[in-house]
Structure 1
Amino acid sequence: MAKQSASKTDDLKRRQEAPLITPTDLKPKATRDIAGGMNAILADVFALYLKTKNFHWHMSGPHFRDYHLLLDEQADQLYAMTDPIAERIRKVGGATLRSIGQIARMQRVKDNDAEYVDPLDMLAELREDNKMLAARLREVHDVCDVHRDIATASLIENWIDETERRTWFLFEAGRRG
């Protein structure tokens, strides 16, 4: 019985010490570059998701219903990106974000903690954030191309399209008169 207990302890210790290595044919540099780029994207997507929800929750004015629903739809799209991004990072052999603190350190989307933001300013700010996200997705796509990571590049292409659609809707919804 003591032998079996020691064996279980040894197995547990080995599992705790073993790094999270996912088998991949990508080279270690490719894993580092792709995981690093995608983790930055993931941090930006989480930050943009929360900012979009913030503006959704604090929307006001004569177009409240339309803007409120638009931002809710866009927040859902952003949130839907998070798990596939994180899982892709793991599939290529990387480790993904582990905390809100790590997101805060990595995000490039600026927070907006203002007590009041004009509805059209909300739309304009989110439009610019989405434009920036599309540009950063293109940068990571280039990294994927260099390392021949077709699967990640393919996902990114869809996210660029979705991000450009959000940008377009925010632009059209925010046009003055």
Structure 2
Amino acid sequence: MADTGDNSKTELVQELNGLLADHFALYTKAKNFHWHITGPRFRDLHLLFDEQAIEIRDQIDVIGERVRKNNMTTLTSIGSVAKHTQVKDQDSATLAPDDMVKELRDDNANMVARLKGMKELAEKAGDNATDGLLDDWTDMAEERVWFLSSFLK
């Protein structure tokens, strides 16, 4: 990606690092819920939370590599993840299943909004590769919202 002479590349990379932090945090939350789900819908939700965690985990490396391909540095520690994420911690191991589903749904919906907001940054920075990936990541997050919403009807 060429330097456009303004701060557009830096702004995009800052947001990519925020997205990276969100993925780490959301992965951890989905695994927490996967491990602690109980009740009559145990099997369905246990599998769904794990599937979503794996999908989120698999995006982490791609996001980090986008940062590096822009000759910038990524997050370096759990502390840097905590500093940059918009995903709120959930330390409860006894949350009700519907509350787990709602929380993951809302976190993913927030991620969709963040991803859509990044499109303009990628375009301004002239980063076509990130621009294209944002479409794929948005589609994946929207699908997670859809699946989670389906459990609440």
| Structure possessing the higher radius of gyration over alpha carbons | 1
Aligned position for 1:91:
69
Q: TM-score, normalised on structure 2?
A: 0.95
Match for residue 131 of structure 2 among 140, 153, 159: 153
Q: Please list, as runs of the form range in 1=range in 2, the aligned pairs for 1:11-160 lying within 5 A after superposition.
A: 24-27=1-4, 29-160=7-138
Q: Deviations over 1:67-114 (max 9, x none)?
A: 000000000000001000000011012110100010011111001112
Runs of at least 4 residues of structure 1 off by over 6 A? Answer: none
CA apart distance, 1:31: 2.6
Structure 2 counterpart of 1:32, one-letter code? T
CA apart distance, 1:156: 0.8
C-alpha RMSD of matched pairs (Å): 1.1
Is the 8 Å Cα contact of residues 26 and 92 (structure 1) preserved in structure 2?
no
Q: Distance in 2 between matches of 1:41 and 1:141?
A: 13
How many residues are aligned here?
152
Is the 8 Å Cα contact of residues 127 and 167 (structure 1) preserved in structure 2?
yes
Q: Deviations over 1:113-138 (max 9, x none)?
A: 12410001100110000000010011
CA apart distance, 1:174: 2.3
Identity of aligned residues (%): 43
Aligned position for 1:164:
142
Q: Distance in 2 between matches of 1:116 and 1:153?
A: 39
Q: TM-score, normalised on structure 1?
A: 0.83
Structure 2, unaligned runs of 5 or more: none
Is the 8 Å Cα contact of residues 2 and 126 (structure 2) preserved in structure 1?
no
Is the 8 Å Cα contact of residues 48 and 78 (structure 1) preserved in structure 2?
yes
CA apart distance, 1:48: 0.6
Aligned position for 1:19:
none
Structure 1 counterpart of 2:44, one-letter code? D
Q: Match of 2:95, SS?
A: coil
